[in-house]
Amino acid sequence: MTHTPPHIMIRADAFADLGGGHIMRCLSLARWLAAQDCRVAFACAPGSADLVPALARSGFAVLDAHGNRDLPLPDGWPARADAVFVDLYSSDASDEVALRARAGAVVAIEDLDGRHHNCDLLVDPGAGRSADLYRGRVPPDCRVLAGPGFALLRDEFAAARADSLARRARQIAPPRHVLVSMGLTDIGGISERIARLVVNALPDATVEIILGPRAPSLPALRTLAASQPRLELGIDVDDMARRMSQADIAIGAGGGTALERCVLGLPSVAIILAANQRPATLYLARTGALLAIDTIDAVENELPGLLARMTPERCAALSKTAASVCDGKGAERVGRALLELVNGNRPETRNHD
């Protein structure tokens, strides 16, 4: 029988108030799957590729999806994809049932508490999460992959891990290079507020701000950088692992980007930008993997004090604990589990070793 490659759709959206993190993590999985000779395409809310330039230049087909149950397929694909990977906060189990008309298997990734799913494989990469949390909320035969070991991070982070950890083991001076990365969409224009606070709190440090081309802070930050030589801007960068590896400390959002920093052992302050980030971020803070600020409104009051606590000794302790959280190989682990599921469903592979 002629082998046909697996056809896998990814259903994820980006919005200005949601950010682009869902699509960015799905891109990590898509790249791994494509390297295994899978056919991969995205179905997203209109405008998602504009908000996430990395999706637009990824080379993957991007189709407009109108609603949680809409799953358009590229021309030339079979009538049903082998699987759909769903990364949507607004979907529920009934939507996943509907998607089965267009895909042989349903895989969902979850960051929220309390939702029920009708999927064959569920991924919850949150810190402190376990499969037991999903008893009674997924079908009995659904496989659950839980914990930061399954975080969908780009392979560049795992590749940079050893050198980054070695650099931190040698670091004995106070922080001199601060990386600020609050997400591509810069929710609420928070990047400018943080930049001003850090420049004032750490007068000897270089402050590097990473943001997207449509970030609301960008005009004000360009003006500030013109008069402040210690402030550097990185717009729509594609080498975050390198930049994180070179930073002494970081200030960033909770969620998946906090786990990127953990892979590299980067001491950080995580600012919770959305309710779904709170449980995992606070768990990481309790275990000593990072320092946390619970709300955007608390940034002005709390950030200067937290930066003052970033002594070499505190940074070393944060780095060691952060590095123990995950190794950056979650996309491969999830990808292998997805292909096991797909191959088990396909007639051409069902009776072969």
Contact yes or no for 91/67 (Cβ under 8 A) = no
List 3, 22, 177, 352, catalytic entry: 22
Residues 97-113: tens digit of each pLDDT: 999 999 999 999 998 88
Dihedral, CA atoms, 35, 41, 47, 53, nearest 10 degrees? 10
Q: Which CATH class is domain 7-153+328-350?
A: alpha beta
pLDDT level of residue 351 (50, 70, 90 thresholds): very low
156 in a labelled binding site = no
340 in a labelled binding site = no
CA–CA dist 182, 174 (Å, integer): 23
Decide if 7-153+328-350 and 155-323 have a common fold: yes
Give me the residue spans of the domains in the chain.
7-153+328-350, 155-323
Residues 120-133: tens digit of each pLDDT: 999 999 999 999 99
CATH number for the domain running over 155-323: 3.40.50.2000
22 is catalytic: yes
Residues 53-81: tens digit of each pLDDT: 889 999 999 999 999 999 999 999 999 99
CA–CA dist 267, 270 (Å, integer): 10
Residues 277-320: tens digit of each pLDDT: 899 999 999 999 999 999 999 999 999 999 999 999 999 999 99
Per-residue burial over 43-52, b if 16 or more Cβ lie within 10 Å, else e, is bbbeebbebb
